[in-house]
Amino acid sequence: MTYGEGGPIPSRVSDAKPSLLLLGSTGLVGAAFARLAVASGRYGTVRALVRRPSAPTPQGLEEHVVDLEGLLEPSSPLARQFEVEHVFCCLGTTIKVAGTKERFRRVDYEYPLAAAKLALAAGARRYVVVTAVGADAASPIFYNHVKGELEAALRELAFPEGVVVLHPSLLLGDRREQRTGEAIASVLMRATRPLFAGPLERYRAIRDEEVARAMLNAAFEPNAGTRVLEGRDLFRLATR
């Protein structure tokens, strides 16, 4: 079912189950998570903010078509959408797709941080976000630097059940857009995946469904503060 920006918004709790809001449901990991969250039956409401409707919309997913720039407005028109228990953020792009570093930062830093602040203000208890292995605010690599800046900013937000940050390495899955470099790397990483053990496990390629399952399971583990999942912890949660 698809709702417009001003459409009806379900109550916070349905059938005594928590509700969730997802950003980035049309991306590789976000789409896998949306399917899994609905199928799991662990949430009473599974809601997503999208720029355009999916075709078709997954059964059980409530899509709200919005302009994500609204996240950044002082009195955001999207604030009520965040009246849920858990918020999941899978927003992300590449500099090639974004076109400029400024636009990349908008999508990978400003939107996720604004969403987290709206979630906290609306009473959400947990924020789960996917960044990337190597995220580090001190990194000279722009991509890693921006991801690290986001994580540093999220550490300042006191969610009752904490913030969960996932650090996947190269993502394996069927992307809508073709990325030649990633396609070649995927073939190599699939073939060598068993070799990435011990300290190298954090760099092992991971399937979109595995990240989605780790996100779902992490959301129901007791936690406080900010928790970063990568390597062994990520794969452990992906197999539960």
DSSP states along 44-72: SEEEEEESS--SSPPTT-EEEE--GGGGG
For residue 52, pLDDT over 50 is answered with: yes
Confidence bin at 203 (pLDDT 50/70/90): low
Domain 2-238 in CATH 3.40.50.720? The answer is yes
pLDDT at position 184 is 47
Give dist(CA 182, CA 74) in Å, integer. Answer: 38
pLDDT at position 185 is 46
Which of helix, strand or coil describes residue 3? strand
Mean pLDDT of 75-100: 96
Mean pLDDT is lowest, of 104-108, 128-132, 188-192, 195-199, for 188-192
pLDDT at position 186 is 47
- CA distance readout (Å), 41 to 161, 182, 210, 219, 239: 21, 33, 18, 14, 18
Cis peptide before 56 (omega within 30 of 0): yes
- Among all chains, which residue has been given the structure tokens 């075709």? 55
Identify the residue with better confidence: 56 or 89. 89
Residue type at position 55: A
pLDDT at position 13 is 43
Name the phi and psi angles at 28, rounded to 5: -60, -55
Which of helix, strand or coil describes residue 199? helix
Give dist(CA 22, CA 6) in Å, integer. Answer: 17
pLDDT at position 76 is 97
Mean pLDDT is lowest, of 60-74, 76-90, 135-149, 181-195, for 181-195
For residue 220, pLDDT over 80 is answered with: yes
Confidence bin at 240 (pLDDT 50/70/90): confident
Q: What is the pTM of this model?
A: 0.85
Confidence bin at 123 (pLDDT 50/70/90): very high
∠ CA 122-136-171, rounded to 5°:
80
pLDDT at position 58 is 82
Mean pLDDT of 145-162: 97
Count of positions (residues) in the chain: 240
Q: Would you say 118 and 66 are in contact if contact means Cβ atoms under 8 Å apart?
A: no
CA-wise closest residue to 166 among 202, 201, 192: 202
| Residue pLDDT, tens place only, 174-195 | 755 555 544 444 444 444 556 5
